[in-house]
Amino acid sequence: MRGIIGQIVPPCQDTVSQDRSARLSYRRIVNDELEFNERFCARVHRLRNERGWTAQQMATALGIPPERYRKYEYRSPLPHYLVERFALIVGRDVEYVLTGNRSPIRMSPPEERRKTA
């Protein structure tokens, strides 16, 4: 009997260790998501203020109720279908709205042709 228990216990210990690792990984993902959401909401709020608009004006421009827009500044991230419109309104590219990182300046095709000619 002792030999059978010894053969069963090590696999269980490995599984418990893997479960703990999975829980820690899940917590890290959840924390990363919470951090992203907080930064994104704060960026949306800041960009609207830089534009000099009220939340009511931004909600009207986006075509959504003001209460919902306020939620996007303080609790929940702006949904994907509004990000591009929001970026156009505040005069920033979508990458900056989503990440806060400025994208490199890209040359248009005619400028590239003149540069290589």
Residue 24 has a pLDDT of 73
Tell me the C-alpha distance between 25 and 5, whole Å: 30
The CATH code of the domain at 2-116 is: 1.10.260.40
Ranges in the chain, pLDDT < 70: 1-19, 103-117
- The Cα–Cα gap between 40 and 114 comes to 39
Confidence (pLDDT) at 2: 56
The reported pLDDT for the residue numbered 61 is: 97
Separation of alpha carbons 55 and 46, rounded Å: 11
pLDDT of residue 32: 87
Give the pLDDT score at 23: 76
pLDDT recorded at residue 88: 95
Of 48, 40, 59, 34, nearest in space to 100 by CA: 40
